[in-house]
């Protein structure tokens, strides 16, 4: 990877799905953008505009019907399923609207899980520092199910950042939170990304949250517009 290589690049990306009726649904159509290290990009758009499809392609969960999605210079569509899985494990952090914590595990176990899955315990000290950073060290031994929504999302952010990902993808990260917790979580997310110097791509319905990014794009029926 060269010094000026973007972390993530979409080049004329399209994603089409065949429909039972015989037609074709164009979820994304000729989408191009890139994100450099240390930058934040917000994607807005109505439900059904293609935001989730875009995130799936960025994470290598799906591959384009046309065009290319490149992660630090590697064409994700040219990789095997296993290679894309390893990139997600090692270099991409995911934050979801519904947190997806394991409720029977403790807060600490949820944060440490990505490291354990990768058979890498070198990140345990980092995990504890992240919990301290978000003000949840005192909750480390509590089951995740005992936390509030805002606290759960902070744990989810720690989990996503555990392995120092080059790219953080966030899907409506405050969608299930009240206004006060939404502000806290977004401020924390922005601050942590600045400190880590990773790239952040997030989708949101909030105009205020979109304005916090370095760049904002809007999806309309699968087409991307700069706002």
| In a domain? residue 1 | no
Q: Does some domain include residue 157?
A: yes
Q: Count up the domains in the chain and report the number.
A: 1
Candidates 101, 61, 65; CA nearest to 85 is 61
For residue 25, pLDDT beyond 50: yes
Q: Which domain holds residue 211?
A: 8-226
CATH (domain of 219):
3.40.50.300
Whether the predicted pLDDT of 3 surpasses 70? no
Q: Hey, what are 213's tokens?
A: 């990014």
Q: What is the mean pLDDT of residues 13-41?
A: 91
- In degrees and rounded to multiples of 5, residue 10 shows phi and psi of -105, 125
pLDDT for the residue 94: 92
> Residue 3 falls within a domain, yes or no?
no
- Domain-located, residue 194: yes
Using the predicted structure, report yes or no on whether residue 22 has a pLDDT greater than 80.
no
Reported as a single tens digit per residue, the pLDDT across 142-190 is 999 999 999 999 999 999 999 999 999 999 888 888 888 888 888 888 8
Q: Both tokens of residue 95?
A: 């934050």
Lookup: tokens for 35? 């994100």
Give CA–CA dist 212/219, Å, rounded: 18
Q: Per-residue pLDDT tens for 60-97?
A: 999 999 999 999 999 999 999 999 999 999 999 999 88
């Amino acid at each position: 990877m060269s010094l000026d290589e973007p972390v993530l690049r979409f080049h004329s990306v399209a994603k089409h799905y065949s429909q039972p009726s015989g037609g074709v649904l164009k979820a994304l159509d000729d989408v191009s953008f890139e994100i450099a290290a240390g930058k934040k990009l917000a994607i807005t758009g109505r439900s059904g505009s293609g935001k989730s499809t875009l995130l799936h392609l960025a994470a290598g969960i799906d591959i384009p019907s046309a065009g290319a999605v490149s992660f630090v210079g590697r064409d994700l569509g040219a990789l095997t399923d296993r290679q894309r899985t390893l990139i997600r494990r090692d270099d991409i952090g995911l934050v979801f609207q519904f947190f997806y914590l394991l409720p029977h595990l403790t807060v600490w176990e949820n944060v440490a899980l990505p490291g354990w899955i990768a058979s890498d315990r070198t990140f345990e000290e980092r995990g504890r520092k992240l919990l301290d950073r978000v003000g949840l060290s005192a909750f480390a031994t509590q089951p995740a199910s005992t936390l509030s929504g805002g606290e759960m999302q902070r744990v989810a952010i720690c989990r996503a950042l555990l392995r120092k990902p080059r790219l953080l993808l966030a899907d409506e990260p405050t969608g299930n939170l009240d206004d006060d917790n939404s502000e806290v979580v977004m401020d924390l997310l922005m601050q942590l990304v600045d400190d880590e110097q990773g790239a952040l791509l997030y989708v949101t319905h909030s105009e205020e949250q979109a304005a916090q990014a370095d760049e904002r794009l809007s999806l309309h029926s699968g087409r991307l517009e700069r706002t």
